[in-house]
Amino acid sequence: MKHSGNRSNGFFRFCLLAAVLCAGAVLGAQPVLSPADVLNIRTVRNTVISPDGHWIAYIVSVPRAADEEAGRAWAELYVLSAKTGENKPFVVGKVNVSSPRWSPDGSRLAFLTKRGQGALTQVWAIPVDGGEAQQLSGSETDVEAFHWLPGGQSIAYAAPLPDSKREKDLAKKGYGFIFFEENLKSSNLYVIPAGARADSAAGKPQPLTENIHVLDMAPSADGRFIVLLATEKNLVDHEYMFKKIYRLDMATRKLEELFDPQKKLGRIDISPDGKRIVFTAAFDQKDHAVSQVYLLDLADNGVRNLTPADFPGHVTWAAWQDDRTILCLAGEGAWNNLYRLAAPALRWKKILASQPAGVVFSAPDFSRDFKKGVFNGSAWNIPADVFLWDGKKTPRRLTNLNPWLAERRLGRQEVIRYTARDGQALEGILVYPVDFQAGMKYPLIVSVHGGPEAHHANDWLSGYQHPAQVLAGKGYLAFYPNYRASTGYGVKFAAWGYHDAAGKEFDDIADGIEHLSKNGPADAERVGLGGGSYGGYAAAWFGSYYTRLVRAAVMFVGISDLTSKRLSTDIPYEELYVHSGKPIEEMWELSLQRSPIFWARQSKTAMLILGGANDTRVDPAQSKEFYRILKMNNHPAVRLVQYPGEGHGNRRQPGRIDFLYRHLQWYDWYVRDKKPLDGPLPPLDISDAYGLKLE
C-alpha cells in the first residue's frame, strides 16, 4: 500500500507538471495583437442615460472591411437596460447614427442619421419600447446639431441655409464658382414639433435665427430661452477662436449677445433655475486649449473663473447637478478626475478618480436624480466600453465589445517619469514588448501626439495611427511622451510652446529618447518616431534637426515650413493667437530656423511622408516641400504617399488600412531590421498584406 501510494503521488505530480506545461504552451500559443485585429476593434461613443435612469443608449463604431465601399466606420445604435443588462440593437447594420438624445419623459430616443440613397442627415426618433423610427425634421440641408425642448413637444435643430434656385441653376451650367471664404452658408436654428411627420404641413420648420452660424445650444428648463454658441462666419477659424454666447428669447425671437470670451470656448450648460450659465473656456487668448470653468450670471452678465489658481490639469467639461452644484471633468496627467463644486464656497471636491480604477472616462451623462451616471471608459486593455456609476462605488463595466481581446497577449503599459535637460519633470506612457526581458535592449518607436493641445492618457493606445500593442507584439518598445505644451498639466505647462515652436517641446521628446536608451531598455541605434499634424511636424523635425537620434520617421499630415503653413491653413488666427504670438512679418527668421526644410540637408533618417490630398488644415504642399528638398539633397530613403479624398487625418478605411500597414512596414525595414538607407526602399504595393481582393 505504501509503495502504491508513492507511485500514486508521483503520478499525480507528473500529471500536475504536465498540466502546467500544457497551460504554459497554450498561453504561449496565444497570438499577439495584429494590424488586422486593430482594424476590427469596435468602440463605444455617445453614451447617454434616460431621465429615469433605466435605459442607456450608446453608439458602437464598427470598422468597414477592406473590400467594402470606401467610407467611415459604421455607427450603430444600441439601448441597454441599467437594471437587467438587457441589450437591444435599435438601429444596426450599414448605418451611420450619431447624437442620441432622450426625450424629457424618456419615452423616445432621437438621433441623427440619413436613410436612403442621396438622403440628407435628419432628426429621427424611435420609441424606447419598440416600433419604427419616425423622421422628425425635413431640413433642406444636413442637420448638424439638435436638442429636445422642455416638455418634449418640440425640437430645435441647426442646419446650413440651402442654396438658392439661382445658385443651383448657375452651378448646373458650370458657373458655380468658389468665392474663397465669401459665399459661406451659416447654420440657422429651426424649431419643429416633435410629434408631426416631417413631410406634413405641421412639421414645417420655423426659423429662429439668421445671420449667425449656430454651433451648439442649451435650452432653459422652463423653455423661455435657448443659450447658443455661435459665430459670425461659418469658418473653422471662427469656430476655434471667435465663438460667442448668445441668448434667444423664445417668445420674442430676440437674440442677445451675452458674452464674447475672445478666446477658445467649450461647453455651456444652464442652471435649472435659469439664472446662471456654467461654461468651459481657455484661461486667456493665448491659452491654446479649453482649460478653465467659468460662471456667467444672467442678472448682470458678470463672469467669474471658478478654477483654482495653478490647477495642475485642464477642465474639459462642466454641467449643473442642481442650482447650487456644478460638476467638472478634468484631465490631470495621464488620468482624469470628476469634481463637485457646491455652493456657497464652490470648493472643489474630487468625487471620482480614474487612476484607482485604471479607467480613463469620458464626460458623464446623468439620470434626472443624479443617482446614476454613464460614460465611455477606456483602459490599457479596453478600447472603449459603457460604464455605469452610482456616485459612490467603483464604476461598473456594462459592455464588452471586443471579448476576443482576452485571447491576445498584450504588452505591459505604465506611466513613466523623467527629467528634461533643464530640470522640468515630464511624463509619458511606455508600452513594453510582449515578451519583455529585463536587461535586454529593444527597438523603440516614439509616437508624438498632435495639437500640441492634447495629451496621451493611460488608456487604450492602439489605433490605426498609433498601434501601441501591435508594436509590442512585434518586439518594440512604444513610447508616448507628454512633452511641454501638452494639455493635462496646467496652463503654465501648456504655454511652454507659445512663440517657441519646436523649442523645448521637441527637446523634451529628445530627452525622453535619451532617457530610455541610457537608463532604460531602448536600443539607441534602433529608434523610430512618428506622429500626425503637430506630431507630423515633430517627425519632420526629428528627421532633420534631431536626425542623429532617429533612424526612421513617419510624418503624417505634418508641417515642414512654418511660413507657408501659416499662410495656407484654414486656422490662421488660431495659429497667430495661441501658437506663434506674432505676425509672420515679425518672425521670418525664427520661422525659417524652426522649419524642418531648413535642416533637411543634414538628414540621415529614412522619411516616410503621408497625408490627405484634400487637407485644409495642413496643406498637402507641406509634404511635397519636405519630399522635394530631401530628394534635391539626394536623400536615398524618402517616400511620399497621398490619400485621395482624405483631409487632416484619414476617415475612410482604405486610407486607415494602408497607413497602418505601410508605416509598420517602414519601421520594420529601417528600425527593426536596420536595412541600409542607401539600399532599396520597401515594396510599394502592400495591398496583399491587408487582404484586399482584386480581380
- Residue range 189-203, pLDDT digits in tens: 999 999 888 888 888
Q: What average pLDDT does this structure show over 665-677?
A: 97
Find the largest Cα–Cα distance for the chain: 104
The grid coordinates of residue 48 equal 447617454
Examine the pLDDT at 9 and tell me if it is beyond 80: no
Examine the pLDDT at 126 and tell me if it is beyond 50: yes
Model confidence band, residue 28 (pLDDT cutoffs 50, 70, 90): low
For residue 393, the model assigns a pLDDT of: 84
Q: What average pLDDT does this structure show over 432-455?
A: 97
For residue 22, the model assigns a pLDDT of: 42
How far is the C-alpha of 191 from the C-alpha of 186, rounded, in Å?
Answer: 16
For residue 23, the model assigns a pLDDT of: 42
CATH top class, domain 415-660: alpha beta
The grid coordinates of residue 596 equal 524642418
DSSP codes joined into one string, 332-369: ETTEEEEEEEETTTTEEEEEEEHHHHT-EE---EE-TT
For the chain, what are the domain ranges? Answer: 415-660
For residue 357, the model assigns a pLDDT of: 86
SS3 call for 23: helix
For residue 140, the model assigns a pLDDT of: 94
Q: What share of the chain is helix, strand, coil (3-state, %, to 5)?
A: 25, 35, 45
Burial 184-204 (b: 16+ CB within 10 A, else e): eebbbbbbbbbebebeeeebe
Query: What stretches of 30-145 show up as alpha helix (H) in DSSP?
Result: 35-38
Contact 56, 66 (CB under 8 A): no
Chain mean pLDDT for the chain: 93
For residue 618, the model assigns a pLDDT of: 98
Q: What average pLDDT does this structure show over 37-55?
A: 97
Q: What average pLDDT does this structure show over 616-640?
A: 98
For residue 7, the model assigns a pLDDT of: 37
For residue 6, the model assigns a pLDDT of: 42
Model confidence band, residue 4 (pLDDT cutoffs 50, 70, 90): very low
For residue 613, the model assigns a pLDDT of: 97
Q: What average pLDDT does this structure show over 655-676?
A: 97
For residue 444, the model assigns a pLDDT of: 98
Q: What average pLDDT does this structure show over 467-471?
A: 98
Q: What average pLDDT does this structure show over 483-511?
A: 97
Q: What average pLDDT does this structure show over 372-401?
A: 95
For residue 130, the model assigns a pLDDT of: 78
Examine the pLDDT at 13 and tell me if it is beyond 80: no
**One-letter identity of residue 674:** K
288: DSSP letter: -
**One-letter identity of residue 382:** I
For residue 404, the model assigns a pLDDT of: 97
The grid coordinates of residue 372 equal 446614476
